[in-house]
Structure 1
């Protein structure tokens, strides 16, 4: 539990798509509490700015502000709010109150929310200074396990097949009578991770309960990866995004699961908490699976500074 009183702001890591906060705004005619949802890739990139007061206002750099009445809040006392963001939908409400603001818009998957910035000092539209006290519960930190060997210059990348020759450092994702490789291809508006079978010179992706053959595809290459156990929607912070879905450009991750004696790679859709693998003409579902992560990115920390858009 953290209490913010008297500091200008506080930036916190969030990776669970929601938070509950207690807020008190101190003694002004037009009280409001302001916080910012920031990009996972860089905490200096604002995805949304949200102001809570008599009106709730949600702003984003790419869209017009949405404003809704939110009366009946006594700002002289501590109020508990919930804020959730999942996919392209943001929900804000007062705990114990059925009046919930829901905001939906299409959002680029590169701007996945990973940080929240609480403002304790803010100005409203009439240039009045508002002071806010925040109390919020921090999610538990996942301990980072060190690796015995750190591989340098091993950033993951996608590469198309050049004739029959596999790209250098093509990543083996499993085994199905032979080693199979991690691939992705476009299908019905999505960029879908799947498998590449070298003996057949084609890739297969899972979509819509079926396995789909693809002759145009990319293969994932690199060295610095790790497979970790995963369950449902509990996606690790350092999971590698391998594509996007056809609806709202939701991120798709790379997963794999065992089918009989085969180990087959496919896609993980966090919306359903499921790993989908292509096998024998079908799309097979698993709620327990392995997911591909980048081991040099801590699971619960700010990303490395060179990835930031400004000089930290």
Structure 2
């Protein structure tokens, strides 16, 4: 059996019980790890089942998406990182349209622990937050447990 897998879902469809918990929104809603296809890119997403929505950070904005995938299984660790560094075993959460891998990261921001995309060539984690794409040079990155 694979160490992890992605499950297709929709905003009002609920999520599997094996979905990977990623954090907590500022209003207390649970955030799960996901990804979505947007404008030619597969982008790591924050999935908020309690609000029946997922968000990606793209082009300076927080974009709501209705169709997405959630990451399932629990064989992961969050490792402190920053500056675009990608540790061994980092989980690829998507790719840009030109083929650059995007990784799954999270950071604390305004009282939340929020999931986003680590964009190595930009040297930051981008989180979708309050309608914007917010960069953070310090973050945790998701790695597959050996």
- Superposition TM-score, scaled by structure 2 size: 0.93
For residues 173-198 of structure 1, the C-alpha deviation after alignment (integer angstroms, 9 at most, x for no partner) is 11002211111111111000010111
3-state SS of the aligned residue for 1:271? helix
Residue aligning to 1:222: 73
1:183 aligns with 2:51: no
Residue aligning to 1:251: 101
Give, in whole Å, the separation in 2 of the partners of 1:198 and 1:216. Answer: 13
RMSD: 1.3
Give, in whole Å, the separation in 1 of the partners of 2:70 and 2:57. Answer: 16
Residue aligning to 1:204: 55
1:165 aligns with 2:7: no
Give, in whole Å, the separation in 2 of the partners of 1:165 and 1:255. Answer: 22
| TM-fit CA distance, 1:223 | 1.0
- Superposition TM-score, scaled by structure 1 size: 0.44
1:264 aligns with 2:110: no
Runs of 4+ in 1 over 4 A off after TM superposition: none
1:235 aligns with 2:83: no
Give, in whole Å, the separation in 2 of the partners of 1:200 and 1:160. Answer: 18
| TM-fit CA distance, 1:165 | 3.0
Give, in whole Å, the separation in 2 of the partners of 1:194 and 1:255. Answer: 10
Give, in whole Å, the separation in 2 of the partners of 1:184 and 1:270. Answer: 17
For residues 225-266 of structure 1, the C-alpha deviation after alignment (integer angstroms, 9 at most, x for no partner) is 0000001122102101110012x2100000001012100001
CA contact (8 A) 1:192 1:242 kept: yes
Give, in whole Å, the separation in 1 of the partners of 2:113 and 2:65. Answer: 20
Residue aligning to 1:81: none
Give, in whole Å, the separation in 2 of the partners of 1:291 and 1:203. Answer: 19
| TM-fit CA distance, 1:154 | 6.0
CA contact (8 A) 1:193 1:254 kept: yes
Give, in whole Å, the separation in 2 of the partners of 1:165 and 1:273. Answer: 33
- Structure 1: give runs of 5+ residues left out of the alignment: 1-152, 297-312
Where relative contact order (Cα < 8 A, 6+ residues apart) is larger, the structure is 2
> Larger radius of gyration, structure 1 or 2?
1
1:293 aligns with 2:143: yes
Give, in whole Å, the separation in 1 of the partners of 2:35 and 2:74. Answer: 18
| TM-fit CA distance, 1:166 | 1.6
